[in-house]
Amino acid sequence: MEVEPDSTTYSIVLGACASSGYLEQGRRVHERLLQNTPDMITSDSIVQNSLLNLYAKCGRLDESTKNALEIFKTIKIRDTISWTSMILGYAQHCQVPQSLELFREMIHQGLSPDYVTYTSILHACGHEGLFHETLEILRWMERDYGIQRTLEHYHCVIDMLARLGQLDEAEELLKAISYEHESDTIAWISLLSGLKTQLDDNFRQQMIRSS
């Protein structure tokens, strides 16, 4: 007699597929759910969030976000995990306006973003070089929700500054936090120093050619 997996088992399998990028295997699990226990998809938050996480992380841009959004809309009571998975999905596929819109809507709905939520949205804003949005979110994080800044959050800011060409500011920020995270920041400082030297050399060569 075949025993049907419970929601915890399905969640573990779907989570493994999402982490490994195994979209097709995850789809087969989804199909089994539809065939054998469709009520889990409509009423079990553990399974719903696991499916949302799968489609948000895996697949092509148009396909994955469409599938994730369909799952997201079916969740009647969305918790922090649901919102964060969807925000992360948009962020990973460089759909930053959608990430920001969901992030603000999440707060408007009265839910508190957690560490993962803030890391996801900061990464998205930093990658796009959104200076004011990044600093605003950092302030919210500490002031309104009491979440302490970590090295991962600083990395998002440093990435943003580097993308905006503000390499001196990025290096200064790295030096300011290096006493707490020395082993990690030495490599970043070396990388930024090398990049600055390369840019300075390119600038000097352009000036020589134009003179």
Bigger pLDDT: 187 vs 12: 12
pLDDT above 90 as % of the chain: 30
Q: Residue 58: pLDDT band by 50, 70, 90 thresholds?
A: confident
Work out the average pLDDT over 163-189.
70
Report whether 49 contacts 76 (CB < 8 A). no
Contacts within 8 Å (CB) and 24+ apart, 14-19: 14/47, 14/50, 14/51, 14/53, 14/54, 15/50, 15/53, 17/54, 17/58, 18/50, 18/53, 18/54, 18/57, 18/58, 19/57
Work out the average pLDDT over 80-90.
91
